[in-house]
Copies of this chain bind each other. A is one copy, B any other.
Amino acid sequence: MKLTDDQLRQFDELGYLMLPGVFSADEMDAVTADLPRIYGLEREEVWRESTGAVRTAFAAHRYSEPFDLIGRHPRLVEPVRQLLGGDVYIHQYKINAKAAFDGDVWQWHQDYGTWARDDGMPEPRAMNIALFLDDVTEFNGPLWIIPGSHREGVLEAGHDLKTTSYPLWTLDRETITRLAGAHGIFSAKGKAGSVLMFHSNIVHASSPNIGPWGRTIVYLSLCHVDNHIREFKRPEWIAHRDFTAIETAPDDCLLRLPRATVAAE
Chain A residues close to B by CB (< 8 Å):
100-101, 105, 107-108, 138-139, 144, 173, 176-177, 180-181, 185, 187, 205-208, 210-213
Contact = CB atoms under 8 A, between A and B. Distances in A.
11 contacts: A101-B176, A105-B210, A107-B210, A139-B187, A144-B210, A176-B212, A180-B212, A205-B210, A206-B210, A207-B210, A208-B208
A108 B211 CA distance: 9
Given A101-B173, A138-B138, A173-B101, A185 B210 contact: no
A164 to B, nearest CB: 12
Count the copies: 2
A139 B206 CA distance: 10
A173 B212 contact: yes
Contacts of A181: 212
A87 to B, nearest CB: 37
A107 B101 CA distance: 10
Contacts of A211: 144, 180, 185
A157 to B, nearest CB: 16
Nearest 4 A-B pairs (CB), nearest first? A177-B212, A180-B212, A138-B138, A176-B212
Nearest to A101: B173
A19 to B, nearest CB: 21
Nearest to A139: B185
Contacts of A108: 210
A176 to B, nearest CB: 5
Contacts of A173: 100-101, 212
